[in-house]
């Protein structure tokens, strides 16, 4: 049954009280500053709160999420997050994390999305055409879509390297961060680290 609105407020009160009881001063410390080591770029899907899957606390993940975890080099929102994460927060890891059973990936593959969403995920449709031979060789549709989710993450890492922010960091040797490609298997709750193709790494 979907959670009722009022539960959000009552749950928050309970959670804050538990935190405070377990660690007096927790919120005073939390409100002072953030010093996250990780930038998480993920899908907006409600099943993708990476802090839950990684048991991380507030203050540990700097987050940008959008439908189907796109790294769009024309998205000023995303680019601002990336710039701030790299040059101000100086994160040590940038994680692009997709997931299996991604509605955005499925809709792109099947040509089901229209309007703004259709426009947003059209790069995945192009990606599916680019990898049509590999994808069509996978008979099972779920596995085929899972593979497209993986290809999508790797393409977004490629896009990350094309951004001015990452390029500038690499040129100035301020690239004290690693880039990772992950997919989350929702059927097991496990993170899968994807190998990056040769040449797609700076470490």
- Binding site residues, Zn ion, CB under 5 A: 43, 45, 102, 104
Of 64, 102, 125, 147, the catalytic one is 102
- 102 has catalytic annotation: yes
Beta carbon of residue 104, minimum distance to Zn ion (angstroms, whole number): 5
Of 64, 97, 99, 125, the catalytic one is 99
- 99 has catalytic annotation: yes
- 173 has catalytic annotation: no
Beta carbon of residue 45, minimum distance to Zn ion (angstroms, whole number): 4
Of residues 45 and 150, the one with the C-beta less far from Zn ion: 45
Beta carbon of residue 105, minimum distance to Zn ion (angstroms, whole number): 7
DSSP for 84-108 reads IIIIII--SEEEEEEETT-HHHHHH
Of residues 108 and 179, the one with the C-beta less far from Zn ion: 108
- Residue 174 to residue 181: CA distance in whole angstroms: 21
Beta carbon of residue 108, minimum distance to Zn ion (angstroms, whole number): 10
* Interstrand relation of 190-194 and 178-185 (parallel, antiparallel or unpaired): antiparallel
Of residues 61 and 67, the one with the C-beta less far from Zn ion: 67
Residues annotated as catalytic are 43, 45, 47, 99, 102
């Amino acid at each position: 049954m979907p959670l009722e609105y009022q539960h959000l407020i009552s749950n928050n009160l309970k959670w804050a009280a538990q935190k405070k009881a377990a660690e007096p001063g927790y919120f005073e410390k939390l409100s002072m500053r953030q010093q996250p080591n990780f930038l998480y770029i993920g899908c907006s899907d409600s099943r993708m709160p990476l802090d839950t899957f990684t048991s991380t606390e507030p203050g540990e993940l700097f987050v940008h999420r959008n439908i189907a975890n796109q790294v769009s080099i024309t998205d000023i929102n995303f680019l601002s997050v990336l710039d701030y994460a790299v040059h101000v927060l100086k994160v040590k890891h940038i994680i692009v994390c997709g997931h299996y059973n991604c509605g955005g990936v499925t809709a792109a593959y099947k040509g089901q999305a229209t309007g703004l969403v259709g426009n947003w995920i059209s790069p995945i449709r192009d990606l599916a055409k680019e990898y049509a031979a590999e994808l069509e060789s996978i008979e099972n549709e779920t596995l085929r879509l899972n593979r497209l989710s993986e290809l999508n993450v790797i393409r977004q890492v490629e896009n990350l390297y094309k951004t001015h922010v990452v390029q500038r960091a690499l040129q100035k040797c301020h690239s004290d961060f690693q880039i990772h490609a992950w997919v989350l298997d929702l059927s097991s709750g496990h993170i899968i680290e994807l190998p990056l193709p040769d040449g797609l790494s700076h470490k």
